[in-house]
Amino acid sequence: MGMDSDLFCEGLVRRFGSNAAVDHVSLDVPAGTFFSILGPSGCGKTTLLRLLAGFDKPDQGDIHIRGQRMNDVPPNRRPVNMVFQHLALFPTMTVGDNIAYGLKRRKMPLAERRKRIARVLEQVGLPGLEHRNPQELSDGQRQRVALARCLVLEPTLLLLDEPLGALDLKLREQMKVELKHLQKQFGTGLPPTGCLTVTGPSCMCARNP
Ligand SMILES: Nc1ncnc2c1ncn2[C@@H]1O[C@H](COP(=O)(O)OP(=O)(O)O)[C@@H](O)[C@H]1O
Ligand SMILES: [Mg+2]
């Protein structure tokens, strides 16, 4: 295992009854890289990400992030953030408050929070939209806010569960380029961020080589 791998996992298994949703999966994601897993619906993508984020426990196997074993570390202590497949922004909070949520929990002062929010909104291509409500945004814009909400926490590893699923084909291609660009940008930032995305069949047909 490279000690500088953002993610290293070996022989991960998660069974639901007799069904092995994750069946001996091993991965090595080098630091700061963009790593995609493609697979049809039901093949275990979300289950795998939940194991990595700590929302679920493997029946077998080990998970290391930046060389540290994570199996017994609770989700809030893992340097990981997950953007869920069915993204849920808080509908009654502004875009800025949605993004600030994790920062507030970390007790970051207001002035610093505002600065970070403005910066991350610029990075996802939505500058100045702090005061909008989620329902005043397009699907693609909402998806980018969900991404911003995670990016702002500067995780070592960003887990994206079908981040392009809700988008039409054209927007999806555009977002793919943007995601890679973003990830590179963050990769050169203070804590480099590795990015693991999982992608369903609707994206596979539109996939770049
Ligand atoms: N909580 C659960 N209980 C029982 N079976 C589950 C549970 N979560 C997922 N599964 C099953 O595990 C398999 C993988 O599901 P999932 O990881 O959601 O697939 P994907 O995200 O690739 O569509 C499916 O067969 C699904 O029915
Ligand atoms: Mg899924």
pLDDT tens by residue, 168-177? 677 677 767 7
Query: Can you give the pTM of this predicted structure?
Result: 0.81
CA nearest 70: which of 158, 6, 153?
A: 6
Domain boundaries, the chain: 91-154
Which range has the worst mean pLDDT, 3-12, 80-89, 134-143? 80-89
Mean predicted confidence (pLDDT) in 82-105 = 88
Q: Does any ligand 1 atom lie closer than 6 A to the CB of residue 45?
A: yes
What residues are neighbours of ligand 2 (ion), with CB under 5 Å?
A: 45-46, 85
What pLDDT, on the 0 to 100 scale, is given for residue 64?
A: 95
15 lines ligand 1 (CB under 6 A): no
Two structure tokens written together for 54: 């700590």
- Looking at residues 99-107, what average pLDDT do you find? 92
- Tell me, using a 6 A CB cutoff, whether residue 51 lines ligand 1: no
**Helices 139-151 and 110-123: crossing angle, nearest 10°?**
130
Q: How many Å from the N-terminal Cα to the C-terminal Cα in the chain?
A: 27
Both tokens assigned to 124: 């996802």
CB atoms within 10 A of CB 204: 11
The answer to whether the CB of 46 is under 6 A from ligand 1 is yes
